[in-house]
Amino acid sequence: MHRSREPLPSPLPDVPWERIPRHIAIIMDGNGRWAQARGLPRSEGHRAGAKSVRAVITACKPLGVRFMTLYSFSAENWTRPKEEIDALMELCVLYCRAERDSLVAEGIRVRWIGDREGLPSPVRDALEDVEQATAHVTGPTLVLAINYAGRSEIVRAARLLAQDVESGLVCSSEIDERMVASRLFAPDIPDPDLLVRTAGEMRVSNFLLWQISYAEIHVTRTLWPDFAESDLHTAIRDYACRQRKFGGLPDPLASSRREPC
């Protein structure tokens, strides 16, 4: 039995806590291929993928990961067949309704990034409802990127800045990175440390283009519906072995302190 103030043992005891990423962003890819391999409709792949979302949330919490951003529907995904889009939208509503109370109980705060105007109102209402219901909790934050496109996010920030220049609030010569970053969808959330992509594709598909400038990238061939706690642990172990330099030189003290990978 653990006393209430004693921390529980880490599920990843070989990774020191300071090497756990604070923010993990995931491009959840491969639902269609998962379904196709089983002779099922693509919508079944998306349903199976929703179960992996739950598994990852549950696995992140005891590790001390503070932010998870999940790429759930891109602005480019509107080019898919209507049937598939309808299934994805319905799944989003069902997911928000089904998970709302357990997210509140577990203290997981939900945020939504993306174009709010462009979503059908039942989906927007369901997302805003779960955002509001969890707004007060203090645990990790789950950011859902839905109807999201990285370039559009930067264009939107540019437009907001231009409005502030026009109204005299900002002088164009003063514009800096901080001013752009503060006009992104979730300016208070730190940039991802680790970007995971499932299903093997080596591209970022218009995801968090501004925020991933120095993220470490881990690509796994595992399809998203098969992604389990062990895959998350593999990604974090991989990240923990990386030497982040941010354009500088490696810190010799840091490398001598690190466990061999």
**Active centre residues (catalytic):** 29, 77
Cβ proximity to ligand IPE: between 70 and 240 the closer is 70
What 3-state class would DSSP assign to 142?
A: strand
The CA distances from residue 181 to 128, 145, 152, in Å, are: 23, 17, 14
Q: Let me know: does 71 contact 146? Beta carbons within 8 Å.
A: no
**Widest CA span in the chain:** 62
By beta carbon distance, the residue nearest ligand IPE is 32
Residue type, 64: G
Q: Let me know: does 150 contact 77? Beta carbons within 8 Å.
A: no
- For Mg ion, how many residues bind (rule: CB under 5 A)? 1
By CB under 5 A, tell whether 74 contacts Mg ion.
no
**H or E element: which one contains 92?**
helix 82-106
Rounded Cα–Cα distance for residues 46 and 36 (Å): 11
Rounded Cα–Cα distance for residues 182 and 178 (Å): 6
Cβ proximity to ligand IPE: between 33 and 61 the closer is 33
Radius of gyration of the chain measured on its C-alpha atoms: 19
By CB under 5 A, tell whether 72 contacts Mg ion.
no
Min separation Cβ 197 and ligand IPE, Å: 8
Q: Let me know: does 198 contact 52? Beta carbons within 8 Å.
A: no
Min separation Cβ 54 and ligand IPE, Å: 16
- Locate 164 and state its tokens: 């502030």
Binds 58: which of ligand IPE, Mg ion, none (CB < 5-8 Å by kind): none
Rounded Cα–Cα distance for residues 119 and 240 (Å): 37
Within 3-42, the residues that bind Mg ion by CB under 5 A are 29
Min separation Cβ 113 and ligand IPE, Å: 12
Task: Annotate 87-113 with b (16+ C-beta within 10 A) or e (fewer).
Answer: bbbebbbebbeebbeebbeeebbbbbb
Rounded Cα–Cα distance for residues 53 and 160 (Å): 33
Cβ proximity to ligand IPE: between 10 and 205 the closer is 205
Binds 33: which of Mg ion, ligand IPE, none (CB < 5-8 Å by kind): ligand IPE
Q: Centre a 10 Å sphere on the Cβ of residue 123 and count the other Cβ atoms it contains.
A: 21
Cβ proximity to Mg ion: between 87 and 157 the closer is 87
Cβ proximity to ligand IPE: between 74 and 134 the closer is 74
Q: Which residues bind ligand IPE (CB under 6 A)?
A: 27-33, 71-74, 77, 88, 199, 201, 203, 205
Min separation Cβ 210 and ligand IPE, Å: 17
Min separation Cβ 143 and Mg ion, Å: 20
Where along the sequence are the contacts to Mg ion (CB under 5 A)? 29
